[in-house]
């Protein structure tokens, strides 16, 4: 069996070798990747807590979770702003869909002024 020896530093970087302090350990993971994983886990924990406490609905939770996995939200503040924006838009859409009780509709409506 041939041992893998990288004579080219750029080739080793491309293959993600020689990262970190030692080989075959968690410390060998790239620092950027560690920070990314830490941030994703933190955001996922936050979403799970909000969904458990009934602050958001299940389908909203799922949509936001997929966006967290896709690196749309870079921190907690951006995530919460997006959640509040979504809830405001949803409330506005619900209020616009309701017909006003004061306005008469259809054939049963009384004319405004009869000549």
Kindly report the CATH number that applies to the domain delimited by 11-97: 1.10.1200.240
User: pLDDT digits over 79-107, tens only?
Assistant: 999 988 888 887 777 777 766 555 555 56
What mean pLDDT comes out for the span 8-13? 69
How far is it, in rounded angstroms, from Cα 4 to Cα 11? 12
What is the pLDDT at residue 42? 94
What is the pLDDT at residue 66? 93
Q: Which residues of 88-102 are buried (b: 16+ CB within 10 A; e: fewer)?
A: eeeeeeeeeeeeeee
What is the pLDDT at residue 105? 59
Who has greater pLDDT, 78 or 57? Answer: 78
User: pLDDT digits over 55-70, tens only?
Assistant: 888 888 999 999 999 9
Task: Report phi then psi at 113, rounded to 5.
Answer: -150, 130
Domain segments of the chain: what residues?
11-97
């Amino acid at each position: 069996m041939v041992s893998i020896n990288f004579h080219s530093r750029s080739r080793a970087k491309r293959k993600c070798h020689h990262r970190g302090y030692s080989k075959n350990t968690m410390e060998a993971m790239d620092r950027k990747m560690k920070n990314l994983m830490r941030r994703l886990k933190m955001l996922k924990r936050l979403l799970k807590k909000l969904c458990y406490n009934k602050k958001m609905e299940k389908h909203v939770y799922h949509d936001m979770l997929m966006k967290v996995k896709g690196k749309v939200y870079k921190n907690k503040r951006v995530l919460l702003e997006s959640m509040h924006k979504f809830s405001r838009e949803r409330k506005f859409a619900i209020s616009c869909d309701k017909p006003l009780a004061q306005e008469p509709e259809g054939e049963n409506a009384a004319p405004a002024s009869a000549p």
